[in-house]
Chain A
């Protein structure tokens, strides 16, 4: 062993009581802290500070510039598709999770579904957009198949590259995420509670309305918020799928960031980014509060 010769380097120094020397072992964490400061905290600070800096020193011009019609439209579109895909994903995912949770907890089905969900929840970006273009794009497999049977899903224009298409594509990673998040909550429901309801004379409706529903509601709402934040932050899928016009916030940011579009405006990009951070922070705070409430009863 190479290091065997010098056992005295830093062998367990006894804590010096009262002695207030500069603790040297802090140096061990420095490389990591410096790295994170440079590549995570500095960029965040650049966004936050940059949003409040104009062409000549500190100003609110970037923030007031947010009050333009197309910026507001972008935020409305983003909020709409995030809400829609979160609600659709949450409801569908909850049904799927329930179908899995009522099965054998150690069965093959459950293992396969949770593994598949773990994989699919990571699926996104260009590849996902292409998958849907190959499925229901204008020459997609399902589209052509339906067309042969006289059913034109694009009778009113190709909606896949518009906001409704984005909602559909987002559900592809939202549903698996919902299953992953909601399954533990469903596992927390005890069969005894149903039996107790029945012995008190309650039926299925009473059970869901007065027992399981209220217990699962915080978990369900929390998961929905999580899906919302998830869709709200997504960029790559939208960038690969969506056509020009009516962009969502991440696309608007990228338009201001890259100079090719000729509307290069880093200040406004930073203000928009700050807006995104604020919205995500609000949503995640609510999620944390609901999470605390959930853990009171379930698990």
Chain B
């Protein structure tokens, strides 16, 4: 590489990275700035918007409900998906492609389309079963399927499921013991990944809750924004930071060694391409 070209490349990299960094950091900084503004022009900085968060019972209720939804969804995801994936690996290898396809399908169906199809289902459930916000967990479980599947699949690929289960079975363990006391502890980081992703996704979810008329955290933030912009932005920052921390933990500690090549999966869709938007 000639010296002139190396210099040009260096200048190009610095300019691009600085501009990119500014574009991505300024809006987040601006949220902090906005949430610490005083009421009047020229008023000193204040944390009033942050301290008033606790004075909105609806908001606190929504935070509680969203955390509840995140917990139910994560637990439900593990209970439904993990035994199925292990079972398919051990006893039904022919079904693997089908399960994979079904799990990744939600990535290609826009959330708004799913809502259109789910709204009669939810109307039926609200009338015939029970009408509670926690019904949303059913839909959220579908939303987190692709992410959870990828995380769990990476974890299962890293261990020798067959040998482990045969060893356990030959020592007299039942299938429950094999799944929850032999295989699951061996893929703890994959389980953590799947849960963190589910929590981050559920806490940021707006589309389903808004259109099925349930007040989760994001819907409440949105409605609060119409009345008290400062506080709603303060809550936004808080929820954003929480999700960022979860995802940063994930990207630094939990990344699978081997990336699953897109060709191997039923759908050629990278996993990053579906957030709560």
Contact = CB atoms under 8 A, between A and B. Distances in A.
A161 to B, nearest CB: 13
A119 B247 contact: yes
A192 B243 CA distance: 42
B200 to A, nearest CB: 7
A118 B247 contact: yes
Contacts of B115: 254, 257
Contacts, number: 285
A154 interface: no
Binding site of A, secondary structure by majority: helix, strand, loop or mixed?
A: helix
A239 B177 contact: no
B97 interface: no
Contacts of A36: 102, 142, 145
Nearest to B259: A184
Binding site of B, secondary structure by majority: helix, strand, loop or mixed?
A: helix
A7 B172 contact: yes
B273 A126 contact: no
A39 B141 contact: yes
A29 to B, nearest CB: 6
B138 A39 contact: yes
8 contacts: A26-B92, A32-B99, A39-B141, A40-B105, A42-B121, A177-B273, A266-B116, A280-B110
Interface string A228-268: 01101111110110000000001001100110000000100
Give chain B's interface residue range (CB within 8 Å of chain A). Answer: 35 or more
Given A175-B20, A230-B273, A3 B142 contact: no
B112 A45 contact: no
Given A131-B28, A172-B27, A47 B91 contact: no
Given A99-B12, A102-B13, A115-B252, A253 B116 contact: yes
Given A120-B24, A126-B221, A288-B268, A257 B95 contact: no
Interface string A159-176: 000000000000011011
A235 B175 CA distance: 43
Contact of A28 (B30, B91, B141): B91
Nearest to B219: A126
Given A124-B277, A236-B206, A172 B24 contact: yes
A270 B116 contact: yes
Given A1-B172, A233-B112, A276-B112, A25 B91 contact: yes
A124 B99 CA distance: 28
Given A31-B80, A135-B27, A125 B218 contact: yes
Contacts of A10: 175
B275 A28 contact: no
Contacts of A253: 112-113, 116
Interface string A277-299: 10011001001100110010000
Interface string B214-257: 00001001100100010011001001100110011011100000
Contact of A103 (B13, B206, B250): B13
A2 to B, nearest CB: 7
A127 interface: yes
Interface stretch (B67-75, B81-89, B185-193): B81-89
Interface-centre pick from B29, B83, B174, B263 (highest chain A CB count, 10 A): B174
B269 interface: yes
Contact of A126 (B95, B99, B171, B206): B206
A121 interface: yes
B98 to A, nearest CB: 9
